[in-house]
């Protein structure tokens, strides 16, 4: 199992920009070659989200990643999404870098 952590700089849910301060995208590559990922984002205020799938566009300092995720929970201005599919734009070779922290 290998992991990556990206600092996030922006977020869109189904094309709608979320007023986010930043966040962390944690990605796990399993031995089976499957990806598990979770986004924890800090917003500037309340975000109107329902417990349903969303198409996420996640901006990082070096790239933009896209993938389906479901809203899990929020605490105050912290919102958590769980990936339910692959992340388009992810270069799996990043998992081979000794310091597996990207972005």
User: What does the pLDDT profile of the chain (103 residues) look like in tens digits?
Assistant: 888 999 999 999 999 999 999 999 999 988 887 889 999 999 988 788 888 999 999 999 989 999 999 999 988 889 999 999 999 998 878 877 665 455 5
Residue 35 lies in a domain: yes
Classify burial at 14, counting beta carbons within 10 Å of its beta carbon; exposed 0-12, middle 13-18, buried 19 or more: exposed
Domain count across the chain: 1
Question: Which residue bears the tokens 């031995």?
Answer: 31
Residue 23 lies in a domain: yes
**pTM surpassing 0.85?**
yes
Residue 27 lies in a domain: yes
pLDDT of residue 54: 96
Q: Which domain holds residue 84?
A: 2-90
Residue 68 lies in a domain: yes
pLDDT of residue 42: 94
pLDDT of residue 41: 96
């Amino acid at each position: 199992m290998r992991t990556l952590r990206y600092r996030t700089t922006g977020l869109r849910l189904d094309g709608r920009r979320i007023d986010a301060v930043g966040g962390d995208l944690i990605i796990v590559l399993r031995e089976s070659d499957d990806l598990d990922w979770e986004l924890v984002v800090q917003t500037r205020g309340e975000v109107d989200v329902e417990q349903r799938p969303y198409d996420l566009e996640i901006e990082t300092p070096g790239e933009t990643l896209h993938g389906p995720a479901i809203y899990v929970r929020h605490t105050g201005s912290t919102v958590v999404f769980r990936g339910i599919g692959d992340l388009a734009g992810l270069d799996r070779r990043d998992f081979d870098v000794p310091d597996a922290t990207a972005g």
